[in-house]
Amino acid sequence: EPEVTQTPSHQVTQMGQEVILRCVPISNHLYFYWYRQILGQKVEFLVSFYNNEISEKSEIFDDQFSVERPDGSNFTLKIRSTKLEDSAMYFCASSEGNLAPSYNEQFFGPGTRLTVL
Amino acid sequence: DAKTTQPNSMESNEEEPVHLPCNHSTISGTDYIHWYRQLPSQGPEYVIHGLTSNVNNRMASLAIAEDRKSSTLILHRATLRDAAVYYCILRASGTYKYIFGTGTRLKVLA
């Protein structure tokens, strides 16, 4: 069964450093997403991406964050200058593009645990 | 975004049916009802979704009240593997994002 994969599984970085989290969505999917979950808290939506542009973003997704689809398979989340409060599990998700967005389910990856020291 | 209300936690015995309730009294006519679950240390996993009619799939059934102000996720025979946090989420027409609440933590007793 096809699945979303994410690398690395755990990333440790120093405050102020840039990090790039990588995701490989399911191959025929057209919509891509990033969510995050701070330990013990809710899953929070960050951004959705379609046709090489951001289609929706939350207020968490400020200028420190960016997303990119650098090639036909990868989808990345970059945090330019990490803060302590960016420590969280980051989940990538993807969904098909053939139906209305409110109908399509999203398939989530296993997550990348980001620890900012 | 319309809100949902779920019990914080529920318990079930293994191999018995489980009914997980969700209230969404402010749902609008075009909101879809989605259910996801999150097993320990994993990403959310799609369970089922519907708009007005009851839905069945290999994982569960979704019963939607006639006025759509509430719904119930039904696991027909709970297994230990079903222990997870279950989220009931409303997704507005034309929006891509899920707004997760705190969900219901289901404990399955052997």
Would an 8 Å CB–CB cutoff place B95 in contact with chain A?
yes
pLDDT of A103 higher than 80: no
Q: Is B101 on the interface with A (CB under 8 A)?
A: yes
pLDDT at A75: 97
Model pLDDT, residue B93: 73
**Given pLDDT bands bounded at 50, 70 and 90, which one contains residue A72?**
confident
Among B34, B44, B96, the residue with its CB nearest the CB of A43 is: B44
Nearest to A55 among B42, B96, B99 (CB): B96
Q: What is the pLDDT of residue B49?
A: 92
Mean pLDDT of A67-96: 95
Nearest-CA neighbor of B89 among B39, B42, B45, B41? B45
Confidence of residue A102 (pLDDT cuts 50, 70, 90): low
- Interface list for A 51-80 with B (CB within 8 A): 55-56, 58
Picking from A33, A105, A113 by the largest number of B CB atoms within 10 A of its own CB, the best residue to mutate is A105
Q: What is the predicted pLDDT for the residue at A97?
A: 72
Task: Please report residues of B whose CB lies closer than 8 A to that of A93.
Answer: 43-44
**CB-based contact B97 A58, cutoff 8 Å:** yes
| Residue A100 touches partner B, C-beta closer than 8 Å | yes
Average pLDDT on A76-81 reads: 97
Report residue B28 as tokens. 């609008």
B34 touching chain A per CB within 8 A: yes
pLDDT, tens digit only, all 110 positions of chain B:
668 999 999 999 999 999 999 999 999 888 899 999 999 989 999 999 999 999 999 989 999 999 999 999 999 999 999 999 999 998 877 787 888 989 999 999 99
A–B: how many Cβ contacts below 8 A?
63
The predicted pLDDT at position A58 comes to 94
Per cent of chain A over pLDDT 90 is 82
DSSP for B13-74 reads ETTS-EEEEEE-TT--TTPEEEEEEE-TTS--EEEEEESSS-EE-SS-EEEE-TTSSEEEEE
Mutate to test the interface with A, among B97, B100, B105 (most CBs of A within 10 A): B97
* pLDDT of amino acid B2: 63
Residue A34: the pLDDT is 97
Using alpha carbons, list the distances in angstroms from residue B86 to A11, B7, B69: 27, 10, 18
List pLDDT tens digits, range A13-49. Answer: 999 999 999 999 999 899 999 999 999 999 999 999 9
Q: At B77, is the secondary structure helix, strand, or coil?
A: coil
Write down the pLDDT at residue B68: 94
Local confidence band at A9 (pLDDT 50, 70, 90 cut-offs): very high
